[in-house]
Amino acid sequence: MTYQEIVELTAEHVMYTYKRLPVAFVRGEGCKLWDAEGQEWLDFVGGIAVCSQGHCHPKVVAAIREQAGLIMHTSNLYYIGPQARLAEKLCRISFADKVFFCNSGAEANEAAIKLARKYAEVHYGPQRHEIIAARGSFHGRTMTTLTATGQEKFHQHFHPLMPGFEHVDLNDLEALRAAITPQTCAVLLEPVQGESGVRPCAAEYLPAVRELCDEHELLLILDEIQCGLGRTGKWFAYEHYGVKPDIMTLAKALGGGFPIGACACTDQVAAAFEPGDHATTFGGNHLACAAALAALEALEEEGLIENSARVGAYLRGGLQGLEAKFPLIREVRGMGLMAALELDRPGAADIQAELFDRQILVNAIGDRIVRMVPPLCVTEAECDRLLEALEGALGKMEA
Ligand SMILES: *Cc1c(COP(=O)(O)O)cnc(C)c1O
> What is the average pLDDT across 50-62?
98
| Separation CA 341–CA 336 (nearest Å) | 14
Counting atoms of ligand 1 from 1, which one is nearest the CA of 140? 4
Residue-wise pLDDT for 334-363, tens only, equals 999 999 999 999 999 999 999 999 999 999
Counting atoms of ligand 1 from 1, which one is nearest the CA of 259? 7
Closest CA to 25 of 283, 295, 356: 356
Q: Which long-range contacts (CB under 8 A, 24 or more apart) does 178-184 make?
A: 179/132, 180/132, 180/212, 180/216, 180/218, 181/130, 182/127, 182/128, 183/127, 183/128, 183/129, 183/130, 184/128, 184/130, 184/131, 184/132, 184/216, 184/218
Residue-wise pLDDT for 136-149, tens only, equals 999 999 999 999 99
Residue-wise pLDDT for 226-283, tens only, equals 999 999 999 999 999 999 999 999 999 999 999 999 999 999 999 999 999 999 999 9
Counting atoms of ligand 1 from 1, which one is nearest the CA of 137? 13
Q: Find out whether the beta carbon of 251 lies less than 6 Å from any atom of ligand 1.
A: yes
- Arithmetic mean of pLDDT over the chain: 98
Number of other CB atoms surrounding residue 126 within 10 Å: 9
For the domain with range 3-57+303-398, which CATH number is right: 3.90.1150.10, 1.20.1740.10, 3.40.640.10, 3.20.20.70? 3.90.1150.10
Residue-wise pLDDT for 242-255, tens only, equals 999 999 999 999 99
Q: Find out whether the beta carbon of 110 lies less than 6 Å from any atom of ligand 1.
A: no
CA of 257 to the centre of ligand 1 (A): 14
CA of 252 to the centre of ligand 1 (A): 7
| Separation CA 320–CA 383 (nearest Å) | 13
Share of the chain above pLDDT 90, in %: 99
CA of 171 to the centre of ligand 1 (A): 21
pLDDT number for residue 399: 87
In this predicted structure, the answer to whether residue 212 has a pLDDT above a threshold of 90 is yes
> What is the average pLDDT across 54-59?
98
Q: Contact 229/236 with Cβ under 8 angstroms?
A: yes
Domain residue limits, the chain: 3-57+303-398, 59-301
Supply the residues annotated as catalytic: 138, 223, 252
Residue-wise pLDDT for 91-109, tens only, equals 999 999 999 999 999 999 9
CA of 228 to the centre of ligand 1 (A): 11
Q: Find out whether the beta carbon of 149 lies less than 6 Å from any atom of ligand 1.
A: no
Counting atoms of ligand 1 from 1, which one is nearest the CA of 190? 13
CATH of domain 59-301: 3.40.640.10
Q: Find out whether the beta carbon of 262 lies less than 6 Å from any atom of ligand 1.
A: no
Q: Find out whether the beta carbon of 134 lies less than 6 Å from any atom of ligand 1.
A: no
Residue-wise pLDDT for 5-27, tens only, equals 999 999 999 999 999 999 999 99
